[in-house]
């Protein structure tokens, strides 16, 4: 149900401030990870959801969109690696 709210926010931002659309999508990506922290009982999802949302906001406000895209690509790679390590510890 929260995805519906995200969709409405995205539809409002695009015509209003299209330059910040990438920042909004990055914040939505980070925010949508929070329920998975509860579902999978994972601290990585919880920490990542907070860090990604705040970092996307700070970088998106202060830098060009291509820098935000580079930072988000790096964050996603680190996120995937930490998930792999967390899953290996569970086995």
Asked if residue 6 is part of any domain, the answer here is: no
Tens of pLDDT, residue by residue over 30-55, are 998 999 999 999 999 999 999 999 99
Residue 4 lies in a domain: no
List the domain range (segments joined by +) for residue 59.
18-90
Residue located via tokens 């910040």:
20
Do residues 59 and 68 lie in contact, with contact meaning Cβ atoms separated by under 8 Å?
Answer: yes
Mean pLDDT of the chain: 91
pLDDT at position 90 is 79
Q: Are 36 and 2 in contact (CB under 8 A)?
A: no
Total number of domains constituting the chain:
1
Encode 1-21: b = buried (16+ Cβ within 10 Å), e = exposed.
eeeeebeeeeeebeeeeeebb
pTM: 0.85
């Amino acid at each position: 149900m929260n995805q519906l709210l995200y969709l409405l926010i995205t539809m409002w931002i695009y015509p209003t401030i299209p330059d910040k659309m990438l920042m909004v999508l990055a914040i939505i990506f980070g925010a949508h990870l929070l329920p998975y922290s509860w579902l999978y009982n994972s601290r990585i999802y919880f920490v990542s959801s907070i860090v990604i949302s705040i970092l996307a906001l700070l970088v998106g406000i202060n830098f060009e969109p291509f820098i935000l895209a580079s930072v988000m690509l790096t964050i996603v790679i680190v996120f995937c690696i930490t998930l792999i390590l967390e899953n290996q510890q569970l086995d």
